[in-house]
Each structure stands twice: as structure tokens, then as C-alpha cells.
């Protein structure tokens, strides 16, 4: 029982550690400083373009959907898992939501009100949750590796979305939804960003202040030790993937509002972008370490990097190279930190 006691003791210490110290220990503070440095550098080169309200609004709105995906991915990676299906689940939920709204509105939901919109949201959440539950059961009960399960779901969800509307985008998104959450603002902040911020805050509270979050760290730190101290590892893993799927469904609904159409293409790399954001945010790919706050910074580092390179006139082909370099550096630093900790 020594190993199990050590694992749970470390988790107790984690809960008692002051917030600032936990953030610093997770490299969140340093990641935030990197983000500030990027903004300062691009701002010094092109202050006329960088320090504009519209630039910030577009940047926030463009990253809102990815941020919601990445919150769910944070929980998954902390458990030492992976979810390659979130981008396809997003597309599936987007398509089913749009089709459902059109169906209850008699074929075209463009002029529909909040009753139809609410039904579309419910369908999106249920669609995402269904795929998440399937992933969780196959991983936790059938003991199939997360990489294989979610790779299969990646193709299956994408194919199902294409079959539902013969590979075409789905129009008929309610104008009210697009006006309110797609392009609407509150005090200058895009409403879609406010939704993403609320989801992120709830995710951060869930991970850092609840038993669910504590169990998530425990499973990622040492699955066998967590099982021996009474944690239902299979049940918890199922819930984590269910959460990731549900958030992917919400992200699909948000995408409908933002793009004014259910888009079936263009999301092929959303899963990789979410994984990159989580890793850049300091969450260890080996599990047991990470934070939602760090993920927020991780989402914005590549976003700021890409938009900054565009603003200063760097050719777009350099953008994925720059993001890849930053990602590899983040993983290397994570491994170096783990080696240094193990040598103590």
C-alpha cells in the first residue's frame, strides 16, 4: 500500500498548495509570460495592427471553439489518454444539430426562434455525448488503447456526418442564433467568447476544486494505485471521455452560430490543434499533471503566433512550421522536467 499512499498523499499536498505555487509548478506562469512576450514582440513591430480592438475581437472569436474542445482534451490527457475524435465529433454534432433544427422548423430553420435553437443545442450535446460515451466504454471496459479507439471514432464520426447530408454543408441555421452568438457582442466582447469563457471557468473549477478533478489527476498519475485506494478507474475514464465528447458537441453548435452553416470540412486538424494547445499549456502527455488555466495560454500561443506572422507579412507557409517548433519545444521541456524530478 506504500505506493498508493504516496500517490494520494501527493494529491492531498496538491490540494493544500497555494494556487500561485501550483500554477508556477505547472509552468503555467511561464507559459503566460511566453504569450505576453509574443504579443509584445508583434505589437512592437506593428502596433497599428496588433493593438486594435477589432484584432482582439477576431482573435478571441476565432479561438473560442478550439478553447472549448481543448478544455475537454485537458481532462483526457491528464488521465494519460488521448482523443483523436473530437474534431469529427464536432462535425457530426454540428450536422445533426442543423438537420434537427431544420426538421422541426419544416425544412428551413432560418427564421426560427429560441425553441428550435434550444432543441438544436440539445441534439448537439447528445450527439457529442454519445460518441464520448462510446469512446469511454471501449477504452475503460474493452481495454482498447485510447489511440486506437479514438482513431476509429475519428473516421466513423466524420463518415457518419458526411452520410447524413451526402457530404454537403447544412444551411438553414437560425438567423437569431447567428446574430446572438455568431456575431453578437456584450460590452465589446463577442458572445461566443463569453460562452467559451464560462465553459473554461467551469472546467477549471471542476478540475481544481472537486473530487472529480482529484480523481482525474490520480488516474493519470498511477492508474493501479488509484484503483487500489478505491477509485473506480473504469467509471471515471468513461466520465472523462463523456465530458470530452459533450464539449465537442457544444463546440459544434458554437461553430454553427459562428459560421452560419454546419460545415463538414475544414475541421480535420481540430483534434491535433486541441492536443497541441493542451501540451503547450503545460499538461504532460504522460498524464497526472496539467491545468485548464495553462490550456487557455496554450490555445492562444499558436493563435497569436499565426495571426502575428500574418500581420508582419511572413508567408503563411511558415506558420505551421513555427507552431510545430513551439510544440516540440514544449514536449522536450516537459520531458526534461520529468527527468529532473525523477532524479531528485
What does the CA dihedral 211, 212, 217, 219 come to, rounded to 10 degrees? Answer: 110
Q: What is the pLDDT confidence band of residue 97, given thresholds at 50, 70 and 90? A: very high
Q: Are 289 and 26 in contact (CB under 8 A)?
A: yes
Domains by residue range for the chain, with CATH = 2-342 (1.10.3470)
- In this prediction the pTM is 0.85
Q: Is the pLDDT of residue 314 over 70?
A: yes
pLDDT, residue 334, reads 66
Alpha carbon distance 177, 137 (integer Å): 34
Residue 208 buriedness (CB in 10 A; 0-12 / 13-18 / 19+):
middle
pLDDT, residue 326, reads 74
Q: Are 303 and 67 in contact (CB under 8 A)?
A: no
Count the alpha carbons within 13 Å of 325 in the hemisphere toward its beta carbon.
7
Q: Is the pLDDT of residue 10 over 90?
A: no
SS3 content of the chain, % helix, strand, coil (to 5): 75, 0, 20
Alpha carbon distance 307, 324 (integer Å): 15
**How many other C-beta atoms can be found within 10 angstroms of the C-beta atom of residue 73?**
29
Mean pLDDT of the 181-198 span: 89
How many angstroms from the chain centroid is the CA of residue 178?
22
Name the 3-class secondary structure at 331: helix
Amino acid at each position: 500500500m506504500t505506493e498508493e499512499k504516496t500517490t494520494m498523499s501527493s494529491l492531498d499536498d496538491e490540494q493544500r498548495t497555494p494556487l500561485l505555487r501550483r500554477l508556477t509548478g505547472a509552468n503555467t506562469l511561464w507559459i503566460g509570460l511566453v504569450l505576453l512576450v509574443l504579443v509584445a514582440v508583434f505589437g512592437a513591430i506593428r502596433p497599428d495592427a496588433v493593438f486594435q480592438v477589432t484584432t482582439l475581437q477576431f482573435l478571441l472569436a476565432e479561438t473560442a471553439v478550439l478553447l472549448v474542445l481543448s478544455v475537454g482534451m485537458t481532462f483526457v490527457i491528464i488521465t494519460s489518454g488521448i482523443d483523436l475524435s473530437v474534431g469529427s465529433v464536432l462535425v457530426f454534432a454540428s450536422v445533426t444539430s442543423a438537420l434537427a433544427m431544420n426538421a422541426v422548423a419544416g425544412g428551413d430553420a432560418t427564421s426560427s426562434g429560441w425553441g428550435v435553437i434550444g432543441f438544436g443545442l440539445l441534439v448537439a450535446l447528445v450527439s457529442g455525448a454519445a460518441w464520448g460515451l462510446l469512446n469511454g466504454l471501449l477504452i475503460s471496459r474493452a481495454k482498447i488503447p485510447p489511440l486506437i479507439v479514438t482513431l476509429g471514432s475519428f473516421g466513423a464520426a466524420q463518415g457518419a456526418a458526411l452520410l447524413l447530408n451526402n457530404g454537403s454543408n447544412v444551411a438553414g441555421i437560425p438567423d437569431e442564433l447567428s446574430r446572438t452568438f455568431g456575431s453578437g457582442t456584450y460590452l465589446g466582447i463577442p458572445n461566443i467568447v463569453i460562452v467559451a469563457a464560462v465553459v473554461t471557468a467551469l472546467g477549471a473549477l471542476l478540475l481544481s476544486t472537486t473530487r472529480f478533478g482529484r480523481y482525474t489527476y490520480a488516474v493519470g498519475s498511477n492508474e493501479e494505485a488509484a484503483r487500489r485506494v478505491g477509485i473506480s478507474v473504469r467509471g471515471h475514464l468513461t466520465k472523462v471521455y463523456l465530458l470530452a465528447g459533450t464539449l465537442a458537441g457544444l463546440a459544434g453548435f458554437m461553430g454553427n452560430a459562428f459560421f452560419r452553416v454546419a460545415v463538414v470540412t475544414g475541421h480535420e486538424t481540430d483534434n491535433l490543434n486541441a492536443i497541441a494547445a493542451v501540451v503547450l499549456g503545460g499538461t504532460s502527455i504522460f498524464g497526472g499533471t496539467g491545468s485548464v488555466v495553462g490550456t487557455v495560454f496554450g490555445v492562444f500561443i499558436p493563435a497569436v503566433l499565426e495571426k502575428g506572422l500574418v500581420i508582419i507579412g511572413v508567408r503563411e507557409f511558415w506558420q505551421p512550421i513555427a507552431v510545430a517548433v513551439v510544440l516540440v519545444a514544449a514536449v522536450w521541456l516537459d520531458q526534461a522536467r520529468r527527468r529532473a524530478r525523477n532524479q531528485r
